[in-house]
Structure 1
Protein backbone atom coordinates (compact mmCIF):
# COMPACT_ATOMS: atom_id res chain seq x y z
CA UNK A 1 0.00 0.00 0.00
CA UNK A 2 2.96 2.33 0.44
CA UNK A 3 3.67 2.04 -3.29
CA UNK A 4 0.03 2.98 -3.90
CA UNK A 5 0.37 5.94 -1.54
CA UNK A 6 3.57 7.12 -3.25
CA UNK A 7 2.08 6.89 -6.74
CA UNK A 8 -1.46 8.16 -6.08
CA UNK A 9 -1.02 10.72 -3.30
CA UNK A 10 2.55 12.13 -3.41
CA UNK A 11 1.42 15.62 -2.27
CA UNK A 12 -1.77 14.72 -0.39
CA UNK A 13 -2.10 16.61 2.88
CA UNK A 14 -3.22 13.50 4.80
CA UNK A 15 -0.51 11.23 3.36
CA UNK A 16 1.33 10.92 6.69
CA UNK A 17 -1.90 9.90 8.43
CA UNK A 18 -2.52 7.12 5.90
CA UNK A 19 1.11 6.00 6.15
CA UNK A 20 0.69 5.75 9.93
CA UNK A 21 -2.44 3.64 9.46
CA UNK A 22 -0.48 1.21 7.24
CA UNK A 23 2.23 0.93 9.92
CA UNK A 24 -0.30 0.15 12.66
CA UNK A 25 -1.95 -2.62 10.61
CA UNK A 26 1.43 -4.05 9.61
CA UNK A 27 2.61 -4.20 13.24
CA UNK A 28 -0.60 -5.82 14.49
CA UNK A 29 -0.60 -8.52 11.82
CA UNK A 30 3.12 -9.18 12.17
CA UNK A 31 2.77 -9.48 15.93
CA UNK A 32 -0.08 -11.98 15.54
CA UNK A 33 1.79 -14.03 12.90
CA UNK A 34 4.91 -14.17 15.11
CA UNK A 35 2.88 -15.48 18.05
CA UNK A 36 3.17 -19.29 18.06
CA UNK A 37 -0.04 -19.68 20.01
CA UNK A 38 -1.93 -17.52 17.53
CA UNK A 39 -0.81 -18.60 14.08
CA UNK A 40 -2.14 -21.79 12.50
CA UNK A 41 -0.75 -23.66 9.51
CA UNK A 42 -2.40 -22.78 6.20
CA UNK A 43 -3.16 -25.42 3.61
CA UNK A 44 -1.23 -25.55 0.33
CA UNK A 45 -4.34 -24.37 -1.53
CA UNK A 46 -4.70 -21.35 0.79
CA UNK A 47 -1.03 -20.42 0.33
CA UNK A 48 -1.36 -20.67 -3.46
CA UNK A 49 -4.48 -18.44 -3.42
CA UNK A 50 -2.66 -15.77 -1.39
CA UNK A 51 0.36 -15.90 -3.73
CA UNK A 52 -1.89 -15.58 -6.77
CA UNK A 53 -3.66 -12.57 -5.26
CA UNK A 54 -0.37 -10.82 -4.51
CA UNK A 55 0.97 -11.38 -8.06
CA UNK A 56 -2.14 -10.15 -9.88
CA UNK A 57 -2.74 -6.50 -9.09
CA UNK A 58 -5.52 -4.63 -10.93
CA UNK A 59 -4.95 -1.46 -12.97
CA UNK A 60 -7.50 0.72 -11.19
CA UNK A 61 -6.30 2.54 -8.06
CA UNK A 62 -9.68 1.97 -6.40
CA UNK A 63 -9.52 -1.75 -7.25
CA UNK A 64 -6.02 -1.94 -5.75
CA UNK A 65 -7.44 -0.78 -2.40
CA UNK A 66 -10.08 -3.51 -2.56
CA UNK A 67 -7.47 -6.09 -3.60
CA UNK A 68 -5.18 -5.24 -0.70
CA UNK A 69 -8.12 -5.62 1.69
CA UNK A 70 -8.96 -9.02 0.18
CA UNK A 71 -5.36 -10.16 0.72
CA UNK A 72 -5.57 -9.15 4.39
CA UNK A 73 -8.84 -11.08 4.69
CA UNK A 74 -7.23 -14.17 3.14
CA UNK A 75 -4.24 -13.91 5.51
CA UNK A 76 -6.63 -13.58 8.41
CA UNK A 77 -8.78 -16.55 7.39
CA UNK A 78 -5.81 -18.76 6.51
CA UNK A 79 -3.54 -18.10 9.48
CA UNK A 80 -5.25 -16.17 12.28
CA UNK A 81 -8.80 -17.45 12.80
CA UNK A 82 -7.73 -19.28 15.99
CA UNK A 83 -6.05 -16.18 17.41
CA UNK A 84 -7.61 -14.46 20.42
CA UNK A 85 -7.14 -11.17 18.59
CA UNK A 86 -8.93 -12.45 15.49
CA UNK A 87 -11.98 -10.20 15.75
CA UNK A 88 -9.86 -7.16 16.55
CA UNK A 89 -7.55 -7.80 13.59
CA UNK A 90 -10.52 -7.95 11.22
CA UNK A 91 -11.80 -4.62 12.56
CA UNK A 92 -8.36 -3.07 12.00
CA UNK A 93 -8.15 -4.25 8.38
CA UNK A 94 -11.75 -3.13 7.69
CA UNK A 95 -10.95 0.30 9.12
CA UNK A 96 -7.87 0.62 6.91
CA UNK A 97 -9.95 -0.26 3.85
CA UNK A 98 -12.56 2.34 4.84
CA UNK A 99 -9.89 5.02 5.39
CA UNK A 100 -8.21 4.47 2.04
CA UNK A 101 -11.51 4.32 0.15
CA UNK A 102 -12.71 7.62 1.64
CA UNK A 103 -9.41 9.45 1.18
CA UNK A 104 -9.06 8.22 -2.40
CA UNK A 105 -12.51 9.64 -3.16
CA UNK A 106 -11.35 12.97 -1.75
CA UNK A 107 -8.11 12.89 -3.77
CA UNK A 108 -10.09 12.27 -6.95
CA UNK A 109 -12.57 15.07 -6.16
CA UNK A 110 -9.73 17.58 -5.75
CA UNK A 111 -8.17 16.93 -9.17
CA UNK A 112 -10.75 18.69 -11.38
CA UNK A 113 -11.10 21.51 -8.87
CA UNK A 114 -7.37 22.11 -8.88
CA UNK A 115 -7.32 22.31 -12.68
CA UNK A 116 -10.33 24.64 -12.74
CA UNK A 117 -8.68 26.85 -10.14
CA UNK A 118 -5.46 27.09 -12.15
CA UNK A 119 -7.43 27.92 -15.32
CA UNK A 120 -9.47 30.55 -13.55
CA UNK A 121 -6.48 32.20 -11.88
CA UNK A 122 -4.88 32.66 -15.28
CA UNK A 123 -8.17 34.10 -16.58
CA UNK A 124 -8.41 36.38 -13.56
CA UNK A 125 -4.90 37.78 -14.02
CA UNK A 126 -5.79 38.99 -17.53
CA UNK A 127 -9.43 39.90 -16.82
CA UNK A 128 -10.73 43.42 -17.13
CA UNK A 129 -11.70 45.11 -13.85
CA UNK A 130 -15.38 44.79 -12.99
CA UNK A 131 -17.77 45.74 -10.22
CA UNK A 132 -16.10 43.42 -7.70
CA UNK A 133 -12.70 45.10 -8.16
CA UNK A 134 -14.14 48.39 -6.87
CA UNK A 135 -13.19 48.09 -3.20
CA UNK A 136 -15.18 51.15 -2.15
CA UNK A 137 -18.42 49.78 -3.64
CA UNK A 138 -17.72 46.37 -2.19
CA UNK A 139 -17.11 47.96 1.23
CA UNK A 140 -20.43 49.83 1.14
CA UNK A 141 -22.35 46.68 0.23
CA UNK A 142 -20.56 44.58 2.85
CA UNK A 143 -21.14 47.18 5.58
CA UNK A 144 -24.84 47.20 4.70
CA UNK A 145 -24.96 43.42 5.09
CA UNK A 146 -22.96 43.55 8.32
CA UNK A 147 -25.36 46.06 9.91
CA UNK A 148 -28.33 43.93 8.87
CA UNK A 149 -26.81 40.85 10.52
CA UNK A 150 -25.82 42.80 13.66
CA UNK A 151 -29.34 44.19 14.16
CA UNK A 152 -30.84 40.69 14.33
CA UNK A 153 -29.90 38.19 17.06
CA UNK A 154 -26.54 37.01 15.66
CA UNK A 155 -25.97 34.45 18.46
CA UNK A 156 -29.18 32.67 17.34
CA UNK A 157 -28.58 33.05 13.59
CA UNK A 158 -28.32 29.59 11.99
CA UNK A 159 -25.77 30.80 9.43
CA UNK A 160 -23.62 32.32 12.21
CA UNK A 161 -23.88 29.08 14.20
CA UNK A 162 -22.81 27.13 11.10
CA UNK A 163 -19.63 29.20 10.86
CA UNK A 164 -19.01 28.93 14.62
CA UNK A 165 -19.39 25.13 14.51
CA UNK A 166 -15.66 25.04 13.70
CA UNK A 167 -14.47 25.88 17.21
CA UNK A 168 -10.89 26.66 16.12
CA UNK A 169 -11.71 28.79 13.07
CA UNK A 170 -11.10 32.13 14.82
CA UNK A 171 -8.43 31.09 17.33
CA UNK A 172 -5.44 31.87 15.10
CA UNK A 173 -6.59 35.41 14.29
CA UNK A 174 -7.35 36.04 17.99
CA UNK A 175 -3.86 34.92 19.08
CA UNK A 176 -2.31 36.90 16.22
CA UNK A 177 -4.05 40.14 17.21
CA UNK A 178 -3.68 39.67 20.99
CA UNK A 179 -0.29 41.39 20.93
CA UNK A 180 0.53 41.11 24.65
CA UNK A 181 -1.01 37.61 24.99
CA UNK A 182 -3.25 38.51 27.92
CA UNK A 183 -6.27 36.62 26.55
CA UNK A 184 -8.14 39.65 25.22
CA UNK A 185 -7.94 42.14 22.35
CA UNK A 186 -8.29 45.84 23.13
CA UNK A 187 -8.98 48.61 20.63
CA UNK A 188 -5.31 49.56 20.22
CA UNK A 189 -4.39 45.97 19.40
CA UNK A 190 -7.30 45.66 16.99
CA UNK A 191 -6.33 48.83 15.10
CA UNK A 192 -2.68 47.77 14.97
CA UNK A 193 -3.63 44.31 13.72
CA UNK A 194 -5.94 45.63 10.99
CA UNK A 195 -3.39 48.25 9.87
CA UNK A 196 -0.66 45.63 9.65
CA UNK A 197 -2.95 43.33 7.68
CA UNK A 198 -4.02 46.00 5.18
CA UNK A 199 -0.46 47.30 4.81
CA UNK A 200 0.77 43.79 3.99
CA UNK A 201 -1.90 43.60 1.28
CA UNK A 202 -1.41 47.19 0.10
CA UNK A 203 -5.14 47.86 0.56
CA UNK A 204 -6.97 50.88 2.02
CA UNK A 205 -9.50 50.71 4.85
CA UNK A 206 -12.96 50.74 3.22
CA UNK A 207 -15.12 49.86 6.24
CA UNK A 208 -16.24 52.21 9.00
CA UNK A 209 -17.30 49.43 11.37
CA UNK A 210 -14.77 47.20 13.13
CA UNK A 211 -14.94 44.08 15.28
CA UNK A 212 -15.09 46.08 18.50
CA UNK A 213 -18.25 47.85 17.28
CA UNK A 214 -20.10 44.59 16.70
CA UNK A 215 -18.37 42.17 19.09
CA UNK A 216 -18.01 43.96 22.44
CA UNK A 217 -21.26 42.63 23.88
CA UNK A 218 -20.59 43.77 27.47
CA UNK A 219 -19.14 47.17 26.46
CA UNK A 220 -15.91 46.79 28.45
CA UNK A 221 -13.67 47.85 25.55
CA UNK A 222 -12.18 44.36 25.25
CA UNK A 223 -12.87 41.34 23.08
CA UNK A 224 -12.66 37.93 24.70
CA UNK A 225 -12.25 34.90 22.41
CA UNK A 226 -16.00 34.16 22.30
CA UNK A 227 -16.77 37.80 21.44
CA UNK A 228 -14.00 37.80 18.85
CA UNK A 229 -15.36 34.63 17.25
CA UNK A 230 -18.95 35.95 17.14
CA UNK A 231 -17.80 39.23 15.57
CA UNK A 232 -15.64 37.29 13.10
CA UNK A 233 -18.54 35.06 12.13
CA UNK A 234 -20.74 38.12 11.50
CA UNK A 235 -17.95 39.69 9.45
CA UNK A 236 -17.41 36.55 7.37
CA UNK A 237 -21.14 36.01 6.81
CA UNK A 238 -21.44 39.61 5.59
CA UNK A 239 -18.53 38.92 3.24
CA UNK A 240 -20.29 35.81 1.94
CA UNK A 241 -23.60 37.61 1.41
CA UNK A 242 -21.81 40.41 -0.43
CA UNK A 243 -20.09 37.91 -2.70
CA UNK A 244 -23.41 36.22 -3.49
CA UNK A 245 -25.08 39.53 -4.33
CA UNK A 246 -22.07 40.72 -6.35
CA UNK A 247 -21.23 37.56 -8.28
CA UNK A 248 -24.57 35.79 -8.13
CA UNK A 249 -26.04 36.84 -11.47
CA UNK A 250 -26.41 33.65 -13.47
CA UNK A 251 -24.52 31.59 -10.89
CA UNK A 252 -26.98 31.15 -7.99
CA UNK A 253 -28.87 27.95 -7.24
CA UNK A 254 -31.08 28.06 -4.13
CA UNK A 255 -29.07 30.99 -2.72
CA UNK A 256 -25.79 29.15 -3.29
CA UNK A 257 -23.06 30.00 -5.77
CA UNK A 258 -22.08 27.34 -8.28
CA UNK A 259 -18.49 26.22 -8.84
CA UNK A 260 -17.81 28.75 -11.61
CA UNK A 261 -18.59 31.62 -9.28
CA UNK A 262 -16.71 30.09 -6.34
CA UNK A 263 -13.57 29.75 -8.43
CA UNK A 264 -14.02 33.39 -9.29
CA UNK A 265 -14.10 34.14 -5.56
CA UNK A 266 -11.05 31.96 -5.03
CA UNK A 267 -9.24 33.92 -7.69
CA UNK A 268 -10.26 37.19 -6.07
CA UNK A 269 -9.48 36.14 -2.52
CA UNK A 270 -6.27 34.46 -3.55
CA UNK A 271 -5.27 37.54 -5.55
CA UNK A 272 -6.27 39.73 -2.61
CA UNK A 273 -3.93 37.75 -0.36
CA UNK A 274 -1.22 37.94 -3.03
CA UNK A 275 0.12 34.45 -2.41
CA UNK A 276 -2.08 31.49 -3.41
CA UNK A 277 -0.78 27.95 -3.12
CA UNK A 278 -2.90 25.74 -5.38
CA UNK A 279 -2.85 22.68 -3.09
CA UNK A 280 -3.79 24.75 -0.04
CA UNK A 281 -6.48 26.61 -1.99
CA UNK A 282 -8.13 23.40 -3.18
CA UNK A 283 -7.99 21.94 0.32
CA UNK A 284 -9.65 25.08 1.71
CA UNK A 285 -12.25 24.83 -1.06
CA UNK A 286 -13.11 21.25 -0.08
CA UNK A 287 -13.24 22.09 3.65
CA UNK A 288 -15.47 25.14 3.16
CA UNK A 289 -18.07 23.16 1.19
CA UNK A 290 -19.61 21.89 4.43
CA UNK A 291 -22.28 19.66 2.86
CA UNK A 292 -20.09 18.72 -0.17
CA UNK A 293 -22.74 19.55 -2.74
CA UNK A 294 -20.33 21.59 -4.93
CA UNK A 295 -22.36 24.74 -4.20
CA UNK A 296 -21.51 27.46 -1.72
CA UNK A 297 -23.82 29.35 0.61
CA UNK A 298 -22.96 32.73 2.14
CA UNK A 299 -21.87 30.96 5.35
CA UNK A 300 -19.63 28.55 3.42
CA UNK A 301 -18.07 31.48 1.52
CA UNK A 302 -17.48 33.17 4.88
CA UNK A 303 -15.63 30.07 6.11
CA UNK A 304 -13.62 30.08 2.88
CA UNK A 305 -12.58 33.68 3.52
CA UNK A 306 -11.58 32.94 7.14
CA UNK A 307 -9.49 29.92 6.17
CA UNK A 308 -7.62 32.10 3.67
CA UNK A 309 -7.07 34.73 6.37
CA UNK A 310 -5.71 32.06 8.73
CA UNK A 311 -3.32 30.95 6.00
CA UNK A 312 -2.18 34.58 5.63
CA UNK A 313 -1.55 34.71 9.40
CA UNK A 314 0.54 31.52 9.33
CA UNK A 315 2.74 32.97 6.61
CA UNK A 316 3.14 36.27 8.45
CA UNK A 317 4.09 34.51 11.70
CA UNK A 318 6.49 32.22 9.85
CA UNK A 319 8.18 35.18 8.17
CA UNK A 320 8.55 37.02 11.49
CA UNK A 321 10.57 34.16 13.02
Structure 2
Protein backbone atom coordinates (compact mmCIF):
# COMPACT_ATOMS: atom_id res chain seq x y z
CA UNK A 1 0.00 0.00 0.00
CA UNK A 2 1.24 3.47 -0.90
CA UNK A 3 1.42 4.83 2.65
CA UNK A 4 3.66 7.69 1.50
CA UNK A 5 0.75 9.13 -0.50
CA UNK A 6 -1.67 8.47 2.34
CA UNK A 7 0.50 10.27 4.89
CA UNK A 8 0.94 13.18 2.49
CA UNK A 9 -2.85 13.51 2.31
CA UNK A 10 -3.05 13.43 6.11
CA UNK A 11 -0.47 16.21 6.34
CA UNK A 12 -2.66 18.61 4.32
CA UNK A 13 -5.03 20.35 6.70
CA UNK A 14 -8.28 20.80 4.78
CA UNK A 15 -11.10 22.01 7.06
CA UNK A 16 -14.52 22.63 5.57
CA UNK A 17 -14.55 25.87 3.61
CA UNK A 18 -10.75 26.02 3.47
CA UNK A 19 -9.90 23.21 1.06
CA UNK A 20 -7.57 25.26 -1.17
CA UNK A 21 -4.39 23.41 -0.17
CA UNK A 22 -5.98 20.05 -0.93
CA UNK A 23 -7.29 21.31 -4.26
CA UNK A 24 -3.82 22.54 -5.22
CA UNK A 25 -2.27 19.22 -4.23
CA UNK A 26 -4.81 17.19 -6.18
CA UNK A 27 -4.37 19.30 -9.31
CA UNK A 28 -0.59 18.94 -9.09
CA UNK A 29 -0.60 15.22 -8.29
CA UNK A 30 -3.14 14.31 -10.97
CA UNK A 31 -1.41 16.53 -13.51
CA UNK A 32 1.78 14.50 -13.09
CA UNK A 33 0.10 11.14 -13.73
CA UNK A 34 0.48 9.47 -17.14
CA UNK A 35 -2.49 8.95 -19.41
CA UNK A 36 -5.24 10.97 -21.04
CA UNK A 37 -6.54 12.79 -17.95
CA UNK A 38 -8.54 16.00 -17.77
CA UNK A 39 -9.33 17.98 -14.62
CA UNK A 40 -12.01 20.66 -14.43
CA UNK A 41 -13.40 22.74 -11.59
CA UNK A 42 -16.90 24.13 -11.16
CA UNK A 43 -17.82 27.49 -9.68
CA UNK A 44 -18.19 25.98 -6.23
CA UNK A 45 -14.69 24.52 -6.29
CA UNK A 46 -15.52 20.84 -6.82
CA UNK A 47 -13.07 18.93 -9.03
CA UNK A 48 -14.05 16.58 -11.86
CA UNK A 49 -11.55 14.12 -13.30
CA UNK A 50 -11.95 12.10 -16.50
CA UNK A 51 -9.42 9.53 -17.66
CA UNK A 52 -9.71 7.85 -21.04
CA UNK A 53 -12.75 7.49 -23.27
CA UNK A 54 -15.42 4.84 -23.26
CA UNK A 55 -19.08 4.05 -23.69
CA UNK A 56 -19.50 4.36 -19.93
CA UNK A 57 -17.30 4.91 -16.91
CA UNK A 58 -16.89 3.57 -13.40
CA UNK A 59 -17.20 6.56 -11.11
CA UNK A 60 -15.82 7.30 -7.66
CA UNK A 61 -16.49 10.32 -5.46
CA UNK A 62 -14.90 11.61 -2.28
CA UNK A 63 -15.09 14.75 -0.20
CA UNK A 64 -11.91 16.75 0.29
CA UNK A 65 -12.75 18.50 3.57
CA UNK A 66 -12.29 17.40 7.17
CA UNK A 67 -14.08 18.57 10.31
CA UNK A 68 -13.09 22.12 11.20
CA UNK A 69 -13.11 21.75 14.99
CA UNK A 70 -9.96 19.58 14.94
CA UNK A 71 -6.77 21.56 14.33
CA UNK A 72 -3.29 20.79 13.03
CA UNK A 73 -0.21 22.07 14.83
CA UNK A 74 2.68 23.29 12.70
CA UNK A 75 4.62 20.15 13.57
CA UNK A 76 1.75 17.75 12.76
CA UNK A 77 2.98 14.35 11.66
CA UNK A 78 1.24 11.24 10.39
CA UNK A 79 2.73 8.42 12.46
CA UNK A 80 2.75 4.93 10.95
CA UNK A 81 3.04 1.75 12.98
CA UNK A 82 2.81 -1.83 11.81
CA UNK A 83 -0.99 -1.77 11.90
CA UNK A 84 -2.28 1.80 12.10
CA UNK A 85 -1.66 5.43 11.13
CA UNK A 86 -2.59 8.36 13.38
CA UNK A 87 -1.91 12.08 13.70
CA UNK A 88 0.44 13.50 16.33
CA UNK A 89 2.07 16.78 17.38
CA UNK A 90 5.50 16.08 18.95
CA UNK A 91 5.80 19.62 20.28
CA UNK A 92 2.43 19.60 22.00
CA UNK A 93 2.61 15.89 22.79
CA UNK A 94 -0.93 15.27 21.71
CA UNK A 95 -2.85 13.26 19.16
CA UNK A 96 -4.39 15.26 16.30
CA UNK A 97 -7.05 14.43 13.74
CA UNK A 98 -5.49 13.28 10.44
CA UNK A 99 -8.73 13.70 8.48
CA UNK A 100 -8.93 10.05 7.46
CA UNK A 101 -12.62 10.85 6.98
CA UNK A 102 -12.41 11.18 4.05
CA UNK A 103 -8.78 11.33 2.97
CA UNK A 104 -8.96 7.55 2.92
CA UNK A 105 -11.59 8.00 0.22
CA UNK A 106 -9.32 10.42 -1.66
CA UNK A 107 -6.53 7.83 -1.42
CA UNK A 108 -8.72 5.11 -2.94
CA UNK A 109 -9.79 7.47 -5.72
CA UNK A 110 -6.19 8.36 -6.59
CA UNK A 111 -5.00 4.75 -6.51
CA UNK A 112 -7.80 3.75 -8.89
CA UNK A 113 -7.07 6.74 -11.11
CA UNK A 114 -3.51 5.49 -11.51
CA UNK A 115 -4.54 1.88 -12.13
CA UNK A 116 -7.41 2.11 -14.61
CA UNK A 117 -7.41 3.49 -18.15
CA UNK A 118 -11.03 4.63 -18.07
CA UNK A 119 -12.58 6.21 -14.98
CA UNK A 120 -14.37 9.30 -13.67
CA UNK A 121 -13.82 10.85 -10.24
CA UNK A 122 -15.47 13.80 -8.49
CA UNK A 123 -13.95 15.50 -5.44
CA UNK A 124 -16.47 17.53 -3.43
CA UNK A 125 -15.99 20.39 -1.00
CA UNK A 126 -17.75 20.90 2.33
CA UNK A 127 -19.36 17.52 2.91
CA UNK A 128 -18.84 17.85 6.65
CA UNK A 129 -21.01 20.97 6.83
CA UNK A 130 -24.05 19.59 5.03
CA UNK A 131 -22.83 18.36 1.63
CA UNK A 132 -22.71 21.86 0.17
CA UNK A 133 -20.26 20.80 -2.53
CA UNK A 134 -22.29 17.91 -3.90
CA UNK A 135 -25.46 20.00 -3.60
CA UNK A 136 -23.86 22.25 -6.23
CA UNK A 137 -22.49 19.40 -8.36
CA UNK A 138 -22.43 19.62 -12.15
CA UNK A 139 -24.80 16.71 -12.78
CA UNK A 140 -24.16 16.20 -16.54
CA UNK A 141 -20.75 14.84 -15.48
CA UNK A 142 -22.57 11.70 -14.34
CA UNK A 143 -24.61 11.12 -17.51
CA UNK A 144 -22.38 8.29 -18.78
CA UNK A 145 -21.35 6.57 -15.55
CA UNK A 146 -22.44 3.02 -14.78
CA UNK A 147 -22.46 3.43 -10.98
CA UNK A 148 -21.05 5.75 -8.31
CA UNK A 149 -18.97 4.57 -5.34
CA UNK A 150 -18.11 6.75 -2.34
CA UNK A 151 -15.53 5.30 0.09
CA UNK A 152 -16.57 7.35 3.12
CA UNK A 153 -17.71 5.03 5.89
CA UNK A 154 -16.04 4.08 9.16
CA UNK A 155 -14.97 0.53 9.90
CA UNK A 156 -14.27 -2.32 7.53
CA UNK A 157 -17.50 -4.07 6.58
CA UNK A 158 -20.38 -1.68 5.81
CA UNK A 159 -21.87 -1.37 2.35
CA UNK A 160 -24.33 1.50 2.63
CA UNK A 161 -27.22 0.81 0.27
CA UNK A 162 -29.79 3.09 1.90
CA UNK A 163 -29.84 6.32 3.87
CA UNK A 164 -32.83 7.03 6.06
CA UNK A 165 -35.84 5.69 4.19
CA UNK A 166 -34.21 6.10 0.77
CA UNK A 167 -32.58 3.34 -1.25
CA UNK A 168 -29.40 4.16 -3.16
CA UNK A 169 -29.07 1.26 -5.57
CA UNK A 170 -30.81 -1.56 -7.37
CA UNK A 171 -31.01 -5.19 -6.30
CA UNK A 172 -29.16 -6.08 -9.51
CA UNK A 173 -26.22 -3.92 -8.48
CA UNK A 174 -26.04 -5.46 -5.00
CA UNK A 175 -26.13 -8.93 -6.54
CA UNK A 176 -23.32 -8.04 -8.95
CA UNK A 177 -21.18 -6.49 -6.21
CA UNK A 178 -21.33 -9.69 -4.09
CA UNK A 179 -20.54 -7.90 -0.81
CA UNK A 180 -20.49 -11.03 1.35
CA UNK A 181 -17.67 -12.54 -0.70
CA UNK A 182 -15.55 -9.48 0.14
CA UNK A 183 -16.41 -9.29 3.83
CA UNK A 184 -19.02 -6.55 3.47
CA UNK A 185 -22.70 -6.46 4.37
CA UNK A 186 -25.54 -4.09 3.60
CA UNK A 187 -26.27 -1.37 6.12
CA UNK A 188 -28.18 1.90 6.48
CA UNK A 189 -26.07 5.05 6.61
CA UNK A 190 -26.05 8.78 7.27
CA UNK A 191 -26.15 11.77 4.97
CA UNK A 192 -23.22 11.98 2.56
CA UNK A 193 -22.52 13.04 -1.02
CA UNK A 194 -24.02 10.06 -2.87
CA UNK A 195 -27.35 10.70 -1.17
CA UNK A 196 -27.31 14.30 -2.36
CA UNK A 197 -26.43 13.18 -5.89
CA UNK A 198 -29.50 10.92 -5.84
CA UNK A 199 -31.56 13.82 -4.56
CA UNK A 200 -30.19 15.88 -7.48
CA UNK A 201 -31.43 13.28 -9.96
CA UNK A 202 -28.60 10.74 -10.32
CA UNK A 203 -30.20 7.82 -12.16
CA UNK A 204 -27.66 5.05 -11.54
CA UNK A 205 -26.92 2.91 -8.50
CA UNK A 206 -24.56 4.27 -5.88
CA UNK A 207 -23.15 3.09 -2.55
CA UNK A 208 -21.00 4.28 0.31
CA UNK A 209 -18.56 1.80 1.83
CA UNK A 210 -16.18 1.34 4.76
CA UNK A 211 -12.61 2.46 4.15
CA UNK A 212 -10.75 1.72 7.36
CA UNK A 213 -11.02 4.80 9.57
CA UNK A 214 -12.19 4.81 13.18
CA UNK A 215 -13.03 7.47 15.81
CA UNK A 216 -13.97 9.96 13.10
CA UNK A 217 -14.29 13.68 13.90
CA UNK A 218 -11.93 13.41 16.85
CA UNK A 219 -8.22 13.73 17.58
CA UNK A 220 -8.22 10.00 18.33
CA UNK A 221 -9.05 9.15 14.72
CA UNK A 222 -6.94 6.33 13.28
CA UNK A 223 -6.66 4.30 10.11
CA UNK A 224 -6.24 0.54 10.28
CA UNK A 225 -4.09 -0.14 7.23
CA UNK A 226 -5.41 -3.60 6.42
CA UNK A 227 -8.99 -2.31 6.60
CA UNK A 228 -8.23 0.53 4.19
CA UNK A 229 -6.59 -1.98 1.85
CA UNK A 230 -9.67 -4.18 2.13
CA UNK A 231 -11.80 -1.25 0.99
CA UNK A 232 -9.48 -0.51 -1.93
CA UNK A 233 -9.59 -4.12 -3.11
CA UNK A 234 -13.39 -4.14 -2.85
CA UNK A 235 -13.63 -0.99 -4.97
CA UNK A 236 -11.25 -2.49 -7.54
CA UNK A 237 -13.42 -5.61 -7.71
CA UNK A 238 -16.51 -3.50 -8.43
CA UNK A 239 -14.71 -1.52 -11.14
CA UNK A 240 -13.35 -4.64 -12.82
CA UNK A 241 -16.33 -6.99 -12.49
CA UNK A 242 -19.37 -4.69 -12.69
CA UNK A 243 -19.02 -3.56 -16.30
CA UNK A 244 -22.69 -2.95 -17.08
CA UNK A 245 -24.66 0.18 -16.25
CA UNK A 246 -26.89 -0.21 -13.19
CA UNK A 247 -29.83 2.20 -13.46
CA UNK A 248 -31.71 3.24 -10.35
CA UNK A 249 -34.08 6.13 -9.77
CA UNK A 250 -35.76 5.20 -6.49
CA UNK A 251 -38.02 7.68 -4.72
CA UNK A 252 -35.88 10.77 -5.07
CA UNK A 253 -38.13 12.64 -7.47
CA UNK A 254 -40.87 12.91 -4.86
CA UNK A 255 -39.91 15.58 -2.33
CA UNK A 256 -42.81 14.70 -0.04
CA UNK A 257 -42.39 10.94 -0.01
CA UNK A 258 -41.66 11.02 3.73
CA UNK A 259 -44.77 12.91 4.85
CA UNK A 260 -46.40 9.81 6.36
CA UNK A 261 -43.30 9.12 8.45
CA UNK A 262 -43.23 12.70 9.73
CA UNK A 263 -46.94 12.55 10.53
CA UNK A 264 -46.26 9.41 12.58
CA UNK A 265 -43.52 11.28 14.45
CA UNK A 266 -45.87 14.17 15.17
CA UNK A 267 -48.56 11.80 16.40
CA UNK A 268 -46.08 10.54 18.99
CA UNK A 269 -45.04 14.07 20.00
CA UNK A 270 -47.40 16.82 18.75
CA UNK A 271 -45.30 19.53 20.44
CA UNK A 272 -42.46 19.21 17.91
CA UNK A 273 -41.91 22.29 15.76
CA UNK A 274 -40.65 22.34 12.15
CA UNK A 275 -37.27 23.45 13.50
CA UNK A 276 -37.21 20.52 15.96
CA UNK A 277 -38.00 18.06 13.19
CA UNK A 278 -35.33 19.40 10.86
CA UNK A 279 -32.70 19.32 13.61
CA UNK A 280 -33.58 15.78 14.68
CA UNK A 281 -34.28 14.15 11.32
CA UNK A 282 -32.18 15.98 8.72
CA UNK A 283 -30.11 12.85 8.13
CA UNK A 284 -33.26 10.77 7.63
CA UNK A 285 -34.89 13.23 5.23
CA UNK A 286 -32.00 15.18 3.69
CA UNK A 287 -34.05 16.23 0.66
CA UNK A 288 -36.51 18.23 2.79
CA UNK A 289 -35.96 21.97 3.15
CA UNK A 290 -37.15 24.16 6.07
CA UNK A 291 -40.22 25.22 4.13
CA UNK A 292 -41.08 21.55 3.54
CA UNK A 293 -41.10 20.86 7.29
CA UNK A 294 -43.27 23.94 7.84
CA UNK A 295 -45.77 22.85 5.19
CA UNK A 296 -45.93 19.25 6.43
CA UNK A 297 -46.44 20.41 10.02
CA UNK A 298 -49.16 22.81 8.94
CA UNK A 299 -50.88 20.05 6.98
CA UNK A 300 -50.65 17.74 9.98
CA UNK A 301 -52.03 20.33 12.42
CA UNK A 302 -54.94 21.02 10.08
CA UNK A 303 -55.68 17.34 9.67
CA UNK A 304 -55.29 16.67 13.40
CA UNK A 305 -57.54 19.60 14.34
CA UNK A 306 -60.13 18.41 11.85
CA UNK A 307 -60.09 14.91 13.29
CA UNK A 308 -60.47 16.28 16.82
CA UNK A 309 -63.50 18.34 15.78
CA UNK A 310 -65.05 15.30 14.12
CA UNK A 311 -64.67 13.31 17.33
CA UNK A 312 -66.16 16.12 19.42
CA UNK A 313 -69.10 16.73 17.03
CA UNK A 314 -70.08 13.44 15.38
Q: Looking at secondary structure, tell me which structure has more helix per residue.
A: 1
Common fold, TM-score beyond 0.5? no
Identify the TM-score tier after normalising by the shorter chain: under 0.3
Structure 1 or 2, whichever has the larger Rg, is 1
Q: Looking at secondary structure, tell me which structure has more strand per residue.
A: 2
What's the TM-score once normalised by structure 1's chain length? 0.25
